[in-house]
């Protein structure tokens, strides 16, 4: 199964990408980038840096530089000006590919048999919304989309009910929800349960594996913004974990829409599969194994 990762790296994006690139059963065909946690030039460079650390030549395609219909609002306080919390990564081995992110998505989907390519969305859904608009035939060949975003019963992290990825581009999320694609959403209701402590960081370092060691440093940077014994939630790794270990997640059908003013998820007309629970211990164990294999 081929996979496109659409991303805005981002500390937790980087851990998710390292897991996916390192996992023998996840065939990452391309990374497409989007402005989100930080601007597009930095997210694109970071995607290349992550590939360099993983020692892969996976192509990186720069996608949308701004959300649809509103101003960008990056999250520098958590991820830092470099997007990776100051953790040292090598420079990209190759420049970004000449084809833009949406064009690359369309080309990959048309080159593969229908329903044989998955899309992992770790950031705002801008690129997918543009794909639906510009290349609907290609979009309809997606086997499934797994996206991190939203808050259902949990409070939001950029507003009372709004989560960053959805709120950064609510118009894109609304278009994706309405498209009827095979779609699974992992909201804060699940991701907030997946956190790491210093014992977990040590276990990652002790593996000696480059992806695990880098992830330990990234998680350690996540502690800088907390006062407790656990890191900030490991949101984005839940996406490749759900793909690889669906038994760890409790999926429910919810009828949802997106409030275009606030970016909050509200009761609506679109039936979405939503991860409302997770076996957090199992997720941490699977992440550790995948980063060290």
Torsion, Cα 268 247 15 227, to 10 degrees, reads: 80
> Torsions phi, psi of 7, nearest 5?
-155, 160
Q: Which two tokens stand for residue 25?
A: 């059963």
Determine contact, residues 126/172, Cβ cutoff 8 Å: yes
d(CA 102, CA 200): 37
Q: Which CATH superfamily is domain 2-292 in?
A: Ribonucleoside hydrolase-like (3.90.245.10)
The catalytic residue positions are 235
Q: Structure pTM?
A: 0.95
Report the pLDDT value the prediction gives residue 283, as an integer from 0 to 100.
98
Residues of the chain with pLDDT below 50 are none
Report the pLDDT value the prediction gives residue 78, as an integer from 0 to 100.
55
**Letter string b/e over residues 85-95, b meaning 16 or more CB atoms within 10 A of that residue's CB:** bebebeebeee
Report the pLDDT value the prediction gives residue 226, as an integer from 0 to 100.
54
Report the pLDDT value the prediction gives residue 258, as an integer from 0 to 100.
97
d(CA 8, CA 18): 14
Q: Which two tokens stand for residue 7?
A: 């991303």
Looking up tokens 């999250």, which residue turns up?
75
Which DSSP string do the residues of 9-66 spell out, in sequence order? --HHHHHHHHHHHH-TT-EEEEEEE-SSSS-HHHHHHHHHHHHHHHT----EEE--SS
Residues 6+ apart with CB under 8 A from 281: none
Report the pLDDT value the prediction gives residue 122, as an integer from 0 to 100.
98
Domain ranges of the chain: 2-292
Report the pLDDT value the prediction gives residue 227, as an integer from 0 to 100.
61
d(CA 61, CA 99): 6
């Amino acid at each position: 199964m081929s996979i496109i990762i659409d991303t805005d790296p981002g500390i937790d994006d980087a851990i998710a990408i390292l897991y996916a690139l390192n996992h023998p059963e996840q065939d990452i065909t391309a990374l497409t980038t989007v402005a989100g946690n930080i601007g597009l030039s930095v997210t694109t460079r970071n995607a290349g840096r992550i590939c360099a650390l993983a020692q892969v030549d996976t192509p990186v395609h720069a996608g949308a530089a701004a959300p649809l219909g509103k101003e960008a609002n990056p999250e520098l306080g958590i991820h830092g000006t470099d997007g990776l919390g100051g953790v040292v990564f090598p420079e990209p081995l190759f420049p970004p590919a000449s084809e833009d992110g949406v064009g690359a998505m369309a080309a990959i989907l048309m080159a593969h048999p229908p329903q044989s390519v998955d899309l992992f969305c770790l950031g705002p859904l801008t690129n997918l919304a543009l794909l639906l608009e510009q290349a609907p035939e290609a979009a309809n060949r997606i086997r499934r989309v797994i996206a991190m975003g939203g808050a259902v019963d949990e409070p939001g992290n950029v507003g009372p009910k709004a989560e960053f990825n959805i709120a950064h581009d609510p118009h894109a999320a609304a278009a994706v929800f309405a498209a009827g694609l095979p779609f699974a959403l992992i909201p804060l209701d699940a991701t907030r349960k997946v956190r790491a402590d210093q014992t977990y960081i040590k276990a990652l370092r002790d593996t000696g594996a480059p992806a695990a060691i880098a992830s330990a440093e990234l998680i350690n940077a996540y502690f800088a913004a907390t006062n407790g014994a656990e890191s900030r939630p490991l949101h984005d790794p839940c996406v490749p974990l759900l793909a690889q270990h669906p038994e760890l997640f409790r999926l429910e059908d919810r009828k949802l829409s997106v409030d275009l003013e606030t970016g909050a998820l509200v009761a609506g007309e679109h039936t979405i599969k939503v991860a409302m629970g997770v076996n957090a211990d199992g997720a941490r164990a699977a992440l550790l194994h995948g980063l060290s294999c």
